[in-house]
Structure 1
């Protein structure tokens, strides 16, 4: 999700194959950027689709069970619903809470406790690490700081942490370390909530393991549609395809170490998780994108269909269980596709939104506020 408004970037592996097609377009920068967003990784397999269903209790599936997930969806729903109701038309793309979240399996009951919507006591700072290609698309998106301005009204804050658009998670982990260590050391409880969107999540996790000096600066770590377990789509992609993003008009990204796509392959991510237990003593949370099929933008339906050959419970780029940090607290299943969670394409380019990114509207400002309010409330409790 984005802040500067880096609410993200066209996903980990979906960007590659459209730049070539884009040259046939004559609509300038916007057409080329959307063409680049169109490729969505290629051919579909011939296996029949597995029926979509939200009935299977997700926490009894093997990946989630092995991850030891704590389910706090009931309380998060209370907080998020209260934020949405209180903010109303103040936030763009507001929608009823029941439509903003997806009910999956048996969700824990609400607690009935009141929700504090006043000024933050801890003044938490959301530091967002974006996904693949953000610097390539940043000039074209040219999005305003709506998340930041919204959060500051309530005593929170946010910033974007710049990482290489096309480099490996190991490379970006070092950049995360350097950026965090350059910030003033906390003179009280840590305030930074480090949010990894898409490939930003494995970048963050590698930083936590490789650089223990950053841990004392963090209040919490959040995967927001994070590619924690990688994406099967990356198995059919090559780095040279991602590298085409450098040729989007106005792109500021470089090739870096050229390891972005490899870092997203499931075998790589799962092997890394098996060999690198996450450090204890930190609070980990997961926000999972789990949209109803009608909430997938038209430009993303081909990648959604392709990924559905593996599991239809996907956001067009990631299967739901691959977004969970092992041992984390599950906050929500969000009724939004991978881009809608973080990339405000339709807001900034309405015509493209109407034609291609048809399900991009989502109340991101309210969602980030709800995440920070949950974390602040949870910080009064012992780490589970």
Structure 2
């Protein structure tokens, strides 16, 4: 243990030396404390990521079919590939379909059914709940809402639901409830697709359990790189480290109830899932980030390697099996790291992207369209 600690310290020193000459211009773009928070959260540690504890529900790691999960990756691939082919290089960060998705195990054969790329008949709305600290760095990110602009061309739409980036999931579930109930009640079938990114998935699951009044307004729930089972990285983090995100340039976020990190700990998430069966009157979908190792951005490699002490099949923040909602439909495995899926740093901060967030480019507009087209088709099927 002592030897590994020395190695860790040497690695940390080497990393700090390499970035020292870049800190001057970084401080002009990211306040020093905020950048320090990134380094702290990604730092190496000799502590076990999953400490010994008997205070846990009984667990079993099983194949998705044994967890009540329906494997519909083949159909999602058909839809996503059709969207990418039709929209092509006109969309930002275009990738061929084979590079956009990861094939994991024996993926089922495609259905061969045609893909309807016409105007949406249901006019679904993607209501995205972001991850930890998003309201802190949102002003700095300063990206145009190109996903919503793209979706509106085809009869869909997208909105962001504001939640406290540094609060726990119970607090944010109430905020989701209030936001949904403040919307005009739909005429006819529900149109709202709640998409939870990272911690946002846990916030949404708590909302649909705690507030049954919102369910009639929700067409479906999607976990996108969701921390459904939490992240072992949260076991080695403290809330004060996340709280440093308040020092991002232009950040107007506050500490909230201080429960964000606790909400991401695996024991917290699994205990909550064990005590709170998900309502059966909603349909759930899981979109998992499963990047090839070379698709991990430079700044995320340390957290990827740290999490790899448990399982190398992670996106730098969450292990692939911890992203799946029980009894959901498995849509696919995305070849992107955790940030690339939903945080478009590279589009507005090209210098930082070229040095640190090196694998951030991903066709999010096409992906979101494919998600909504898949959900629209799937919820219309007789099995629902």
TM-score by length of 1: 0.88
- Give the superposition deviation at 1:249: 2.2
Q: 1:211 to 1:29 in 2, by over 3 A?
A: farther
Q: 1:87 to 1:39 in 2, by over 3 A?
A: farther
- Give the superposition deviation at 1:320: 0.3
- Give the superposition deviation at 1:39: 3.6
Residue of structure 2 in register with 1:304 after alignment: 304
Residue of structure 2 in register with 1:41 after alignment: 42
Write the mapping of 1:1-384 to structure 2, written as runs, cut at 5 A: 25-27=23-25, 28-32=27-31, 36-45=37-46, 61-62=61-62, 64=64, 67-384=67-384
Structure-2 separation of matches of 1:260 and 1:66: 31
Q: 1:228 to 1:180 in 2, by over 3 A?
A: same
Deviates further, 33-42 or 115-124: 33-42
Structure-2 separation of matches of 1:207 and 1:383: 25
TM-score by length of 2: 0.88
Residue of structure 2 in register with 1:5 after alignment: none
Higher share of residues assigned helix: 2
Instruction: Give deviations 1:149-193, integer Å, cap 9, x for gaps.
Output: 000010100000000010000000000000000001111000000
Q: 1:277 to 1:170 in 2, by over 3 A?
A: same
Q: 1:133 to 1:46 in 2, by over 3 A?
A: closer
Structure-2 separation of matches of 1:34 and 1:352: 12
Is contact 1:41-1:237 (8 Å) kept? no
For residue 195 of structure 2, give the secondary structure of its aligned residue in structure 1. Answer: strand
- Give the superposition deviation at 1:46: 9.1
Q: 1:64 to 1:40 in 2, by over 3 A?
A: farther
Instruction: Give deviations 1:320-355, integer Å, cap 9, x for gaps.
Output: 000001100000100000000000001111111110
Gaps of 5+ in 1: 1-17, 48-59
Is contact 2:148-2:158 (8 Å) kept? yes
Is contact 1:63-1:321 (8 Å) kept? no
Structure-2 separation of matches of 1:40 and 1:348: 23
Aligned residues: 352
Which structure exhibits the higher relative contact order, with contacts defined as CA atoms closer than 8 Å and separated by 6 or more residues? 1
- Give the superposition deviation at 1:44: 4.3
Structure-1 separation of matches of 2:82 and 2:340: 21
Is contact 1:38-1:300 (8 Å) kept? no
Structure-2 separation of matches of 1:260 and 1:216: 28
For residue 325 of structure 1, give the secondary structure of its aligned residue in structure 2. Answer: coil
Is contact 2:286-2:331 (8 Å) kept? yes
Is contact 1:166-1:242 (8 Å) kept? yes
- Give the superposition deviation at 1:45: 4.4
